[in-house]
Amino acid sequence: MMKYKLLPHTNIKVSTICLGTMTFGRQNTEKDGHEQIDYALERGVNFIDTAEMYPVPAEATRYGNTERIIGSWIKKTGRRNEIVLATKVAGPGDYTKHIRTTGFSTKALNEAVENSLKRLQTDYIDLYQLHWPDRNTNKFGIRGYKHQNKESWKDNFNEILHSLDKIIKSGKIRQIGISNENPWGVMRFLEESKNNLPRMITIQNPYSLLNRQFEVGNAEVSIRENIGLLAYSPLGCGVLSGKYIQKKDEENSRLNLFKRFVRYSSEQSTEATSRYLDIAQKNNISLTKMALAFVNQQPFVTSNIIGATNLNQLKENIDSIETELSHDTLKEIEKVHELIPDPAT
């Protein structure tokens, strides 16, 4: 049976399992996407996460296609009131220069919200997130921070919250969150919100058995400040299903299609995955369920964003909500983590 939590500081109830959609429009067709949403709702999932730049890898020719697929489902079914819908505005950089070259200016935020609403075919977005910081910082798996003395970025935390405040008051978004953010950025947003401005309620960062960097600084912030983690890549691009080391992957498996995603296929990640697979087999559960259950059980996690390219994968991912890892199993996991900490940061 599905479990639920409240988005922090709200009365919005979301499922502990969130349906991630970044494959819609690339690895999954519109029909596939609709089937996944229908099945997820049948299983009690009410939380759907997307982003304006999806599908991933981001390309100009596919820009916005994921939101369009969700929008066509909303129009076809009329079930908008049954889901909590989250999306994101893309930050700046070469990767998204086909979207815009500015950061989170007032103009950029207003245009991004309007365009997402049109593609999603809805009047409001439940949770609107900044996809990554627009300042120079160590994001997307960069382990250490190196300051750039000639950085062109100017402190804009207050300006961003003022812009989002106006959009919230217009009724177009309900709540706001951040993504791929570090403790300094989280605390700056929270401090600025004390000036009668809207509060960031969630942070969407990677978190899995192969990447527990969130625990270093953000976990304390999350618990003490009550800002919930929406964990993404909980299976490390499918690596923690065990299919790659067990040679059960297919040509259209994610890491076979997109060779640039190397952080989860390093020698250290492969070794750690092999050890986690041994633990799962010893405890008679699939590695997929063990990996997802580990995320589900963390006290700072509000929702676990799973993704699948077929319904069988989706079923197993959602089934993980029924798995409760024992104290002994968690101790075995910790031994591997101590030996090979965060191989996929």
| Active site residue ranges | 54
Retrieve residue 213's tokens: 């960097």
Distances (CA, A) of 120 to 13, 123, 126, 339, 343: 21, 9, 12, 45, 36
Contact 167, 109 (CB under 8 A): yes
What is the token pair recorded at 7? Answer: 């988005």
Contacts of 146 (CB under 8 A, 6+ apart): 138
Is the bond into 206 cis (omega within 30 degrees of 0)? no
Mapping DSSP to helix (H, G, I), strand (E, B) and coil, where does residue 343 land?
Answer: coil
Q: How far is C-alpha 57 from the chain's CA centre?
A: 15
Q: DSSP E strands: which ranges in the chain?
A: 4-6, 13-15, 17-20, 47-49, 84-89, 125-130, 173-179, 200-204, 228-231, 301-306
CA torsion sign for 64, 69, 75, 81 is negative
Compute the distance between CA of residue 305 and CA of residue 303 in angstroms, rounded to an integer: 6
Distance CA 81, CA 207 (A): 29
Widest Cα–Cα separation across the chain? 55
The encoded tokens of residue 242 equal: 């065990």
Rounded to whole angstroms, how far apart are CA atoms 288 and 239?
9
Q: Any idea which residue has 């059980």 for tokens?
A: 297
Buried b / exposed e along 199-236 (16+ C-beta atoms within 10 A): bbbbbbbbbbbbbbbbbeebbebbeeeebbbbbbbbbb
